[in-house]
Amino acid sequence: MSHAMSHDPSSPPRAPLQLSRAEMQALGDQALAMVIAHHEGIRAQPTTTTMSRAEAAARLYTPLPEAPTPPAELLAQLARDVFPNAFRADHPRFYAFVPSPSNFVSAVGDFLTSGHNVFSGHWLASSGASQIELTVLDWLQRACGLPPEAGGIFVSGGSMANLSAVVVARETRLGSHDPQAVVYYSDQTHSSMSKGLRVLGFGKAQRRMVATDAQFQLSLTALEEAIRTDRANGMRPFCVVANAGTTNTGAVDPLPALADLCAREGLWLHIDGAYGAAAVLHPRGAAALEGLGRADSITLDPHKWLFQPFEIGCLLVRDAQLMQDAFRVEDEDHADYLADITRHIQQDVNFFERGIQLTRSFKALKLWLSLRTFGLAAFRDAIQVGFDVADFAQQWLEASGRWEIVTPSQLGIVTFRWRGAGLDDAAVDALTGRVVDRLRADGYATVMSTLLRGRPALRLCPIHWDATTSEMERTLERLTQFALEESARA
Ligand SMILES: Cc1ncc(COP(=O)(O)O)c(C=O)c1O
């Protein structure tokens, strides 16, 4: 079999997947140049580009190749056909969903992680990496206000962290699966929560979605009433999930009151701060998130408002021992080939006993490297940008007189709707979707809508560290122009 890289026949034979130093250097240089070009050139790019399935297959499908291809050609194809055809969630004008404003240092961290292929499952395999992970977890635990005995783990993202939190809650409070057990969460809770509960075998009657108030915060009276009714009906309430920044509007549930209620009722309090909890590193965020540190567990996603590339989510638990009790590999599990690992080093942290995965990558590295490189002050400033640009958007929209603010700037999110003089609600709702499509076709920025109390609203989440008020203004001008044109057609 010939090798993809040109091989000097006078040099010794090489192993099947081996590259020479020069080849590694050339390939690395080419990849590095691509990533630098992405970081430097992103602002000039559209925020979203999509191919049809047919076009993508025509460009990219090949059968499993028997023969080699020079990797330089493959990287060139990736640069042409793959990376440009994406939502650029790390673009400073990507305001939809939860953007993922990454940073170059963390991308280097990910390269180092996979380049060294550290197995971060247990101490023996990764004492250095485990200590880095513990260090970063310690930073986040302290920032969230959790006590010294807290612990955590980095996982793929918020969905995994939320699911894992319920496992710890269930094992701690119930000991085993109980068909009468009930989890409570608001109608604004991210869909990953009910999905995770379904995965864990919680039936519909065990997933209690509670109404929110006018501010989209979980209603305490509705929650108390639901708990009372369930207990009267023989159900077993055991866990409340609160939001620390809903995806829809950035609303924060009444955390101190919920912590009081959970303490009174003996319920586990999980706080889903996948989106918003990182803002605790900023004084304004810390004020909005008062009560966060009273949680039994917290989800916080560094791949959202902590500027990390996918994938990195985090689960923090008030008492690390409870995670270890929940995820410990038991004798009955017959992990016989891990016996040497667990026998001698019980005093050490083995991350495979804090979560679901055994084999896991060194996700903590990118966050550690970027926090150490830039320092916390830079991250605080980066979070501030999200607050400022969202505030600016709200003020601009209010001053325009043409838009109605549905929810004000909170934790970096604003939602709004066309006032639509002369248009009824149905026409305004239809126009909202058309305005999104017009902006998508325009390509300057990405803004999407969400449903609030059954009606569409436009939603901005400008949390990129390099978002600017001037680009926000140009985006809002475009939205206004598209809305005017579309309403003239309605
Ligand atoms: C509040 C909240 N929770 C959970 C999730 C799920 O996180 P992930 O997509 O990282 O699995 C999200 C994602 O946007 C979120 O905003």
Q: How far apart are CA 368 and CA 357, in angstroms?
A: 21
**Residue 157 CA: which ligand 1 atom is closest?**
10
Average pLDDT over residues 165-175: 97
CB 219 within 8 A of CB 257: no
Kindly state if the Cβ of 463 falls inside 6 Å of ligand 1.
Answer: no
User: 1: pLDDT confidence band, cut at 50, 70 and 90?
Assistant: very low
Kindly state if the Cβ of 89 falls inside 6 Å of ligand 1.
Answer: no
| CA of residue 225 to ligand 1 center, whole Å | 28
**Beta pairing partners, 413:** 410
- Domains detected in the chain: 21-86 (1.20.1340), 108-375 (3.40.640.10), 377-489 (3.90.1150.170)
**Residue 160 CA: which ligand 1 atom is closest?**
11
Kindly state if the Cβ of 248 falls inside 6 Å of ligand 1.
Answer: no
**Coil, helix or strand at residue 208:** strand
Q: What is the pLDDT of residues 442-466, one digit of tens each?
A: 999 999 999 999 999 999 999 999 9
Q: How far apart are CA 460 and CA 395, in angstroms?
A: 13
**Beta pairing partners, 450:** 457
Q: What tokens appear for 140 in the block?
A: 């986040």
> Which amino acid is located at 80 in the chain?
R
Q: What is the pLDDT of residues 22-36, one digit of tens each?
A: 999 999 999 999 999
Q: What is the pLDDT of residues 255-271, one digit of tens each?
A: 999 999 999 999 999 99
| CA of residue 97 to ligand 1 center, whole Å | 10
| CA of residue 159 to ligand 1 center, whole Å | 6
Closest Cα to atom 14 of ligand 1: 98
Kindly state if the Cβ of 130 falls inside 6 Å of ligand 1.
Answer: no
Average pLDDT over residues 106-129: 96
Q: What is the pLDDT of residues 279-317, one digit of tens each?
A: 999 999 999 999 999 999 999 999 999 999 999 999 999
| CA of residue 309 to ligand 1 center, whole Å | 14
Vertex 377: Cα angle to 375 and 382 (nearest 5): 100
Probe target for ligand 1 pocket from 159, 193, 315, with the most ligand atoms within 8 Å of CB: 159
Q: What is the pLDDT of residues 137-146, one digit of tens each?
A: 999 999 999 9
Q: Is residue 2 pLDDT above 50, yes or no?
A: no
| CA of residue 414 to ligand 1 center, whole Å | 18
Closest Cα to atom 13 of ligand 1: 158
pLDDT of 293 = 98
Average pLDDT over residues 236-256: 98
pLDDT of 395 = 98
Kindly state if the Cβ of 247 falls inside 6 Å of ligand 1.
Answer: yes
| CA of residue 14 to ligand 1 center, whole Å | 45
Average pLDDT over residues 212-222: 97
Kindly state if the Cβ of 192 falls inside 6 Å of ligand 1.
Answer: yes
Phi, psi (5° rounding) for residue 109?
Answer: -60, -45
pLDDT of 459 = 98
pLDDT of 193 = 98
| CA of residue 413 to ligand 1 center, whole Å | 15
User: 13: pLDDT confidence band, cut at 50, 70 and 90?
Assistant: confident
**Residue 246 CA: which ligand 1 atom is closest?**
1
Kindly state if the Cβ of 313 falls inside 6 Å of ligand 1.
Answer: yes
pLDDT of 437 = 96
| CA of residue 9 to ligand 1 center, whole Å | 53
Q: Which of 256, 246, 206 is nearest to 226 (CA)?
A: 206
**Beta pairing partners, 241:** 185, 270
**Rounded percentage of the chain residues whose pLDDT exceeds 70:** 97
Closest Cα to atom 8 of ligand 1: 158
Kindly state if the Cβ of 302 falls inside 6 Å of ligand 1.
Answer: no
Q: What is the pLDDT of residues 341-396, one digit of tens each?
A: 766 556 789 999 999 999 999 999 999 999 999 999 999 999 999 999 999 999 99
| CA of residue 63 to ligand 1 center, whole Å | 35
Q: What tokens appear for 280 in the block?
A: 């605790």
| CA of residue 255 to ligand 1 center, whole Å | 19
| CA of residue 169 to ligand 1 center, whole Å | 19
Kindly state if the Cβ of 98 falls inside 6 Å of ligand 1.
Answer: yes
Q: Is residue 490 pLDDT above 80, yes or no?
A: no
Kindly state if the Cβ of 253 falls inside 6 Å of ligand 1.
Answer: no
**Rounded percentage of the chain residues whose pLDDT exceeds 90:** 91
Q: What is the pLDDT of residues 95-104, one digit of tens each?
A: 999 999 999 9
Distances (CA, A) of 142 to 161, 183, 203, 252, 275: 18, 27, 35, 20, 18
Kindly state if the Cβ of 275 falls inside 6 Å of ligand 1.
Answer: yes
pLDDT of 6 = 62
**Which residues are within 8 A (CB) of 458 and not within 5 positions of it... i.e. 6 or more apart?**
415, 416, 417, 432, 435, 436, 447, 448, 449, 479
| CA of residue 464 to ligand 1 center, whole Å | 17
